[in-house]
Amino acid sequence: MTIDQLRELVRTIPNYPKPGIQFRDVTTLLLHQQGLSETVERLAVSVADKPDLIAAIEARGFVVGAALAVRLGCGLLLIRKDGKLPGETIAEDYALEYGKDRLAMHIDACTIGQRVLIVDDLLATGGTALAAARLVRRVGGVITGARFVIDLPELGGGKALRADGIEVAALMEFAGA
């Protein structure tokens, strides 16, 4: 499949969850057998250096992150919305395109020096991915990069991550907020 064909599988829902937001809905891409496997394969070949762990961000990032971890042969670190993990956690607040939230991870999910790739379905302002990077770094993990299915470049997430020294790639872009 071409990138344009993959792009056509992403549905756009206007004014969700708030007026003015063009919601890029990856669930329609996930429904498509070939679209899903092509997405995972394209992400996999974009990773030159296999990390120890993939840090996948709740909720949509879990889907892509888990599939990519199996394909690359690495472990999966779950970054969850605060209050969902049973063990001892650390947490970071962040802002996103349509609100704010708090992410958490188990304090023992990553050891000092482990190499961690951040994975999510979509990059907008970068607030979520940067909060995930802060969590991993707080326990001594090394961020090797970040991968997304979709980038909304006008929201500046790519620039913000690169300014933090994180290597970033996404499979496709959508214009506008």
Ligand X SMILES: O=P(O)(O)OC[C@H]1O[C@H](OP(=O)(O)OP(=O)(O)O)[C@H](O)[C@@H]1O
Query: Which residues of the chain form contacts with ligand ADE (CB under 6 A)?
Result: 21-24, 96-97, 122, 124, 152
Contact 56, 64 (CB under 8 A): yes
Residue 57 or 78: the one with the smaller Cβ distance to ligand X is: 57
- Residue whose entry in the numeric block shows the structure tokens 């991550």: 161
Residue 6 or 57: the one with the smaller Cβ distance to ligand X is: 57
Asked if 128 is part of the footprint of ligand X (rule: CB under 6 A), the reply reads yes
What's the burial of 143, exposed, middle or buried (CB within 10 Å: 0-12/13-18/19+)?
buried
Contact 137, 52 (CB under 8 A): no
Which one of the spans 83-91, 95-103, 135-143, 161-169 is the region binding ligand X (CB under 6 A)?
A: 95-103
| Binding test (CB under 6 A) with ligand X, winner from 59, 70, 163, 177 | 59
Contact 87, 149 (CB under 8 A): no
Asked if 43 is part of the footprint of ligand X (rule: CB under 6 A), the reply reads no
